[in-house]
Amino acid sequence: MRAYNFSAGPAILPEEVLKEAQAELVDYQGTGMSIMEMSHRGKEYSAIHEECIANIKKLLNIPEGYSVLFMTGGASSQFALIPMNLLGEGQTADYTNSGAWAAKAIKEGKLLGNVNIAADCGKEIPTRVPSIDELKLTDGAAYLHITSNETISGAQWKVFPENETLIADMSSDILSRPLDVSKFGMIYAGSQKNLAPAGITLVIIKDELADRCPDTVPTIMRYKTHIEGNSLFNTVPTFPVYILCLVTRWLLAKGGLEGMQKQNAEKAGKLYEAIDGTDFYTGTAVKEYRSNMNVTWRIANEELEPVFIEEAAKQNLKTLKGHRSVGGIRASIYNAFPVEGIDALVSFMKEFEAKHG
């Protein structure tokens, strides 16, 4: 029996995708080889690569003038590559600080240029992301960087600021809802939360933004290099791209991002209703900023939290422990997380309260 895996990442993948990958793992479509063993420039892998890009463009309705890239190093590498490529000498970049991941991006930005903290609510409890009207932006800023969903705190941007060079780290909510990509200069996401196994970073970037890159940036660290090489300048991690291709097929079959948004809102709604319906549990994020991907809460008697996590695991409800930096309980319920798992968790929460309340 598969566990209900609430891990924040590496995270749950659709069971249908895992079974298809299992069936093709040793012999991909009669070739006698695994996709992991094939050349990244061979025709079998090339077909997967191109389909994956096409599926992402279709799901997000990406307009002309943008490129879809598969890079490496996770979102953490992008924290440095963004200012290296896009923050010119003498320019300032605006960043919002909404929590742990935004703070990491800011730290790297400061190593490479001038950074203005346009809004800072990173240490506020209950947690939230900034409101648009509190942003203090720099005239002529190179870009505005936000973290669309803070995995640790469970806070999410519901409406995005309008800025022609808006850059968003969407590692934990990418492909979970429709987006107007034309409102962004760049979107990026590590794959291990809502896309595929760890190993690739999805980057969607406006081509004219990539053209800013100074000639002094090393070749492999330029977005232009990966655009020109169609993400094949060096050997791409082929297996994560293959899984992402299968995941994008699954998303299209499930009704695309509109279908996912509806399902994700319903799943999160059930869980927040269980939290709000009693004084035994307390949500940790401001209600209007609550994430549909990472639901975070505390038990009034915090000494019961380790007991909750241990007893939940015995009922196949796994990895509910909050991040080590904040404690508490966290349920990461990405696209692939089944509705039945939410029902099982809500039932357990009621039983646990009846037993310990």
Based on the residue annotation, tell me whether 101 is a catalytic residue of this protein: yes
The answer to whether 121 touches 130, Cβ cutoff 8 Å, is: yes
Which residues does residue 295 pair with via DSSP β-bridges, in sequence order? 331
Backbone region of residue 2 per phi and psi (left: phi > 0; alpha: psi in -120 to 50; beta: other values): beta
Set 157, 173, 193, 267: catalytic member = 193
Coil, helix or strand for 215? coil
Residue 267 CA neighbour count, 13 Å, CB half: 27
Query: Cα–Cα distance between 184 and 256 in angstroms, integer?
Result: 20
109 neighbors 117 (Cβ within 8 angstroms): no
Are 131 and 153 contacting, i.e. CB atoms less than 8 angstroms apart? no
- 111 contacts 80 by C-beta, under 8 angstroms: yes
- Among candidate residues 94, 157, 169, 318, the one labeled active-site is 169
Owner of token pair 């990472």 = 294
Q: What is the DSSP track for 166-199?
A: EEEE-TTTTTSS---GGG-SEEEEETTTTTSSTT
Q: Residue 170: count other Cβ atoms within 10 Å of its Cβ.
A: 24
**CB atoms closer than 10 angstroms to residue 164:** 12
Cis peptide before 126 (omega within 30 of 0): yes
List 94, 101, 206, 267, catalytic entry: 101
Q: Contact at 8 Å (CB) between 142 and 92?
A: yes
Quote the CA–CA distance of 47 and 45 in Å, as a whole number.
5
Residues labelled as active-site residues:
101, 169, 193
